[in-house]
Amino acid sequence: AATTGSNELERTFVKVQTGKWHGLSAYLSRSNQISNQWRGPGTFDREHWEAKIRYELSPAASIQFGFVSNDYFDYDSPTINKLQYAGTAATELFGRKGRYFGYLPYVPDLPATAPGITYSNTAHNQYYLQAINSRDDALYTMNAVFEASSELRLTATGYFEDKKGYGVSPEAYSTSLASHNAQRLILPGLFAPRGLQYGLSTVDGDRQGLLANATYKMGNQELLAGFWVEVDDYHRTQNRFNQVGGNPAGQPLLNEFVHRQRDFNSKRESIQLYAKDVISLMENRLKIELGIKSLDVDYEIAGYRNPADYINRRQPKISDDFSDNFLPQAGLVFSVNATDQFFASYAENYALPRGADDIYATASPAAPGPEAETAKNYELGYRLNRGPVNLVAAVYFTSFTNRLQAFASVVPGSTQIETFFQNVGSVESSGVEVSGGYRPEFFSKKLSLNGSATYNKVEFKDNYGTVMIAGKTVPDSPEYIFQGTATYEPVAWAAVSFSARALTSRFSNFVNTESIGGYSVYSAYVDLGGGRLSLGPVKNVKVRFNVENLFDKDYLGTISTTATTNAVFRPGPDRTFQLTVSAAF
């Protein structure tokens, strides 16, 4: 397959398959994509490899090896506030506004704010070569399946992931100078800042694990038991370096440390045990599922977590354990008749706090660790499948505890105020979701309509200190979401489709003092060939033309939520076109 499109998009995809030969089968695929960023200068580059080899030792046993890798590089684009989006920000020096507000493709000519330091103006941090992301990872897997008998099935999967990457972000001269002065009498080998600083963050590590289970069928029951173990090692560094002449476009001088930020290792060791019993009753009209999970996660972080660790000459080792040995799960499906079903479920979940490294790296070692985030989930629904109509309707309720948020508070055992992640209480989410499809008979089932509508209410239940958030809506939670698609296939080798997605307004902070309006976006495609066109040795020829954001809606999409202040956003992308031609040989 080959794709071209807006923003000078070029994508190629090749997949080679062996077919089956004496129980052995394999495939190898590669895709490569490059395009310009739609907002601001720079490019997006991604190379993806994937391979699998499967060998059937016998009709009852097989083994499979897998490999997936990604090499990703892109130039970042800035988040913006509502004033920058509207073009009314008093601090904007370069006339940027609206959805295309991006970093600068040139080094701006600005007055120095420090004597003798040409690039001391904070606004020099808007040059695009100072905003880079890169990631390189590879995942290796091995899976084995063995059917010991018609009743007993055993499966096991082992995996290893190697990951590394880096990011570049600028630091203004005044910020670097203050941090340099705080460390220069303590840490040897530091250099005074020359201008704008080159901020380099690196990550590397590996993740390895094993999961296995056994399924045993016994009369009207199916028993499942298994385990999952994983060790995740992670290393992060962050430092500020000089550049030639202090120039944002200057070569980084990676031997000139201006000040140190981070150099730590973290580890997560996870063990999960689980068991499930599926019981079939009433001639399989009623299925009941009962299960239980046990989860234990040991967490550790050690090294220089933040600049204060360097200043205080400490490399703390902080450990914490998160465990819950009783996490019940239950569900049932009842077939009312041949076309209708009633279903219900209950589940308890437990997880290591999100962003654990940022949580434990922010505050002093005396700051308390957070509690694990937990949830109780309830669902009740009805589904039907009657000829041209299928429909599912469900109501749900979820109670979250120990929601995390960064707040400024006094560190226990001291009078020092620091900002660190803390549990802020409970959140409750409830709603209704209806989804379904319709293939009307009077169109000879050549037209298919699919859609969903969701009502969702998500509220904080507790205040946190003097921050009054009880009863407030959790930010970035639209009350209504609608999605729909209409696809028409007049002939077997052609199809045209039109899709729409709409959501209502969202709050952007915890205290609900700022919000953004809802929006609707539309997309469409035309598909020709349908895998039925052949030209000699070339088979399954297809041509697809896609249009995203069909009516070029200008809107704010992603929200970086805050507690009490105004948030920043990422604009939604503009209208784009893609043309893809694919074939098989």
DSSP 284: T
> Which of 51, 48, 63 lies closest to 27, judged by CA?
51
**Whole-model pTM?**
0.91
CA 498 vs. chain centroid, Å, equals 27
Token reading at 27? 């495939």
Q: Is the pLDDT of residue 413 over 50?
A: no
Average pLDDT of the segment spanning 550-577 = 94
Predicted local distance difference test score (pLDDT) of residue 78: 95
Token reading at 404? 């995390």
Place of tokens 């070692």: 365
Q: Is the pLDDT of residue 408 over 60?
A: no
Which residues, other chains included, contact 255 with Cβ-Cβ below 8 Å and sequence gap of 6+?
none
pLDDT tens, position by position, 20-74:
999 999 999 999 999 999 999 999 999 999 999 999 999 999 999 999 999 999 9
Contact by Cβ (8 Å): 32, 43: no
Average pLDDT of the segment spanning 240-263 = 97
Token reading at 110? 């600005």
Q: Is the pLDDT of residue 558 over 60?
A: yes
Average pLDDT of the segment spanning 356-372 = 79
C-beta atoms surrounding 283 within 10 Å? 8
Which residues, other chains included, contact 531 with Cβ-Cβ below 8 Å and sequence gap of 6+?
540, 542
Predicted local distance difference test score (pLDDT) of residue 361: 86
Q: Is the pLDDT of residue 415 over 80?
A: no
Predicted local distance difference test score (pLDDT) of residue 12: 97
Average pLDDT of the segment spanning 152-177 = 97
Predicted local distance difference test score (pLDDT) of residue 577: 98
Helix (H) or strand (E) holding 154: strand 152-171
Q: Mean pLDDT over all residues of the chain? A: 93
Backbone φ, ψ for residue 256 (5° rounding): -115, 90
Q: Is the pLDDT of residue 414 over 60?
A: no
Rg over alpha carbons for the chain, rounded to the nearest Å, is 28
Contact by Cβ (8 Å): 374, 404: no
Read off the amino acid at residue 401: T
Q: How many residues does the chain have?
A: 585
Read off the amino acid at residue 197: Q
Residue 362's pLDDT band (cuts 50, 70, 90): confident
Q: Is the pLDDT of residue 419 over 60?
A: no
**69-101 burial code (b ≥16 CB/10 A, e <16):** bbebbbbbbbebbbebbeeebeebeeebbebeb
Q: Is the pLDDT of residue 287 over 80?
A: yes
Helix (H) or strand (E) holding 56: strand 43-58
Average pLDDT of the segment spanning 139-153 = 97
